[in-house]
Amino acid sequence: MIKIHLLISLLFSFISLNFIPGETIQDDCKIVIYKKAANHSLKALIYRNHRSQTNKKQPVFIFIHGGGWEIGKPEWGRNVCQRYSSLGFVSISFEYRLERKHKANALDAIADVKSAIRWTREYANDLNINPDKVVAYGFSSGGHLAACAAMIPGFDDPGDNRNFSCVPNVLIVQSAPIIIFEDNGHFNKINNLSSVKDCSPLEHIRSNLPPTLVIHGSLDPYTPLWSVKEFEKRMRRFGNRCELHIYDGIRHLNWDSVNNKVFEVTDKFLISLGYMEDK
C-alpha cells in the first residue's frame, strides 16, 4: 500500500512538472496559450528532448521569428528549436501580434515579446527550466524585438507580472534591424507611434547588458552592415560582451549555404557561457 501511494505521489509530481494549463500537443511540440491580448490568443510552441533528465533544470532557448512585424508564425522556428532541444535546452518559439494578422504594430510586438520572456520565467518550474539561463534568439524583425526586450525600457503590457524580468540572460540576433532609421523602410512602421529612437536598440546601449552575439550578412539591403559594426563598437565601449560575425555575400534571407557555420558560431558562444557542453 505504501508503494502504491508513493507511485501515485510521484506520478502527480511528474504531471505537475510537465503540464501547463491549457496546453495541447501537436506533432513534436506542446502548444500553450501564453497570453491573450486584444481578443487574440498568442501561442508558445514548446520543444523538449524527452530523453533528458526531468529532474535537471535546463536552459531555455527562445526563438522570435522575423517577418517585418507584418507576417510570420512561430512554426518558422521549428528546425532551430528542435536542434537546441536536442542539445539540452527547452526550446520555445513564440507567436506575437502582427500587422496583417492582428492589425497590430511594432510596439504591440515589443510588448508581446517582453510578456513571453516574463511568462517563461513565471512558469520556470512547470517548464523545468532554469530562469537564470534564458537565451533569446531573434531573426530579422524578431532580432529587433529580442534586442528591445533586452535593452529598452517601457513598452510593457500592463497585464504582465512585473515580478519577472523580461531581460534575457543571453541575446542572439541575426539579420536584425538594431537601428530604426529613416531611409530603409523600418522608419515608417514606427514613426507615427513613438519616437523612433525609443525603439532603436543602438540608442540604448549601456553597461551590464546581456552577452550578445550578432550574426549578419555583408550584403543585407535592409539592415546595413555599418549599423551592426557600430552596435558592436558601442557595446564593447560600455564593457559588454558582444561578438559580431559577418558572412560575406549573404543578403537578408539567403542563409542556407552557411547555416552550419552559423550553428557552429552559436554553439561556441553558448558553450563559452556554460549553457552547452562542448561536443
What the block records as the C-alpha cell of 40 is 487574440
| Structural domain contains residue 150 | yes
Q: Answer yes or no: is 89 within a domain.
A: yes
For residue 154 the three cell numbers come to 517601457
C-alpha–C-alpha distance, residues 234 and 122, integer Å? 32
Question: Is 219 a member of any domain?
Answer: yes
Position 252: which residue type?
H
pLDDT in tens, the chain (279 residues): 333 333 333 332 333 334 454 555 556 899 999 999 989 999 999 999 866 556 789 999 999 999 999 999 999 999 999 999 999 999 999 999 998 999 988 899 999 999 999 999 999 999 999 999 999 999 999 999 999 999 999 999 999 999 999 999 999 999 999 987 654 555 566 655 556 678 889 999 999 999 999 999 999 988 889 999 999 999 999 999 999 999 999 999 999 999 999 999 999 999 999 999 886
Domain annotation covers residue 277: no
Range of the domain at 22: 2-272
CATH code at position 117: 3.40.50.1820
Residues sharing a CB contact under 8 Å with residue 191, sequence separation 6 or more, in sequence order:
none
Tell me if 245 is assigned to some domain.
yes
Is 279 inside any structural domain? no
Residue 8 CA neighbour count, 13 Å, CB half: 5
CA-closest candidate to residue 129, choices 210, 202, 20: 20
Is there a domain that residue 184 lies in? yes
Query: Which H/E stretch holds residue 243?
Result: strand 242-247
- Distance CA(129)–CA(111), nearest Å, equals 23
Per the structure, how many domains does the chain have? 1
Indicate whether 278 belongs to any domain: no
